[in-house]
Amino acid sequence: MNVIPVDIDHAEHSVGGSGGHWFRRFTHVGMCVIPFAYHLWGDTIAGAVSMTPREFVIAVAISFIVIEALRLKFGIIIVGQREYEANQISALAWGAIAVCLTLILAPQEGTGLEAGKYTIPIICGLTFVDPIMGEVKRAKHGMRGAVIVGMTVSYTIWMGSVALFSTPFIAALLLAPLTVAGEVPRVRWIDDNATMILFPLIALLLLHPLF
């Protein structure tokens, strides 16, 4: 198993160096708008191409898979990507597909942002917790320090969702740590952009009848 060191400085291995690294971080955080756009304007956006919101997300997921396959075929890496991503599925592709799966599979009860009671904290957990934990590790505070900070941020997001979007408290209590758990595996065959979403998403699908 090809293991990634916990305190690796990704800026040194990113296309564009430090600038590319921070471009990647800000792009990551910017993805937090996706669930809000989906629940507020999904019908309008998808309707422009005569699709339902779910069909539109499926089409986007398929497009990412095709684009990623072509990128891998030609060994292309862009600004912010890391050198090793020339020969493996990129973090961007893992994250994009995982976000799409959340919007497709997660229960969506109610209307407007209330329908995002699960999609919003799951996706925002990825967009905020991942880069923050990454910077804590990059600052040489180790996995323990990263987990403490990550848990604080994750619970803030989930409890905020309880207050704002009627997320069940028990769901927030149980699923928030799974976002952080998704950051722990340090392997190259799957990116934490996927596991930080898939861990809470799978648990939600299994436990949802209890919520």
Q: Tell me the C-alpha distance between 65 and 94, whole Å.
A: 9
Which tokens in the block code for residue 139?
Answer: 């600052």
Q: Tell me the C-alpha distance between 53 and 102, whole Å.
A: 13
SS3 104: helix
Which tokens in the block code for residue 41?
Answer: 């304007």
Alpha-helical regions (H) of the chain = 17-30, 33-47, 53-74, 91-105, 119-124, 130-138, 142-165, 169-181, 192-207
Residue reference for tokens 């989930």: 158
DSSP 106: S
- What is the pLDDT, as a whole number, of residue 142? 85
- What is the pLDDT, as a whole number, of residue 133? 93
- What is the pLDDT, as a whole number, of residue 16? 58
- What is the pLDDT, as a whole number, of residue 119? 98
Which tokens in the block code for residue 142?
Answer: 């180790």
Closest C-alpha among 59, 182, 73 to residue 130 = 182
Closest C-alpha among 110, 104, 123, 126 to residue 205 = 104
Instruction: Measure Cα distances from 11 to 128, 134, 135, 175 in Å.
Output: 18, 11, 10, 30
SS3 84: helix
Report residues of the chain scoring pLDDT below 70.
1-17, 20-21, 80, 186-188
Q: Tell me the C-alpha distance between 118 and 114, whole Å.
A: 9
- What is the pLDDT, as a whole number, of residue 7? 46
Beta bridge partners of 82: 14
- What is the pLDDT, as a whole number, of residue 136? 92
- What is the pLDDT, as a whole number, of residue 3? 52
DSSP 9: -
SS3 3: strand
- What is the pLDDT, as a whole number, of residue 10? 54
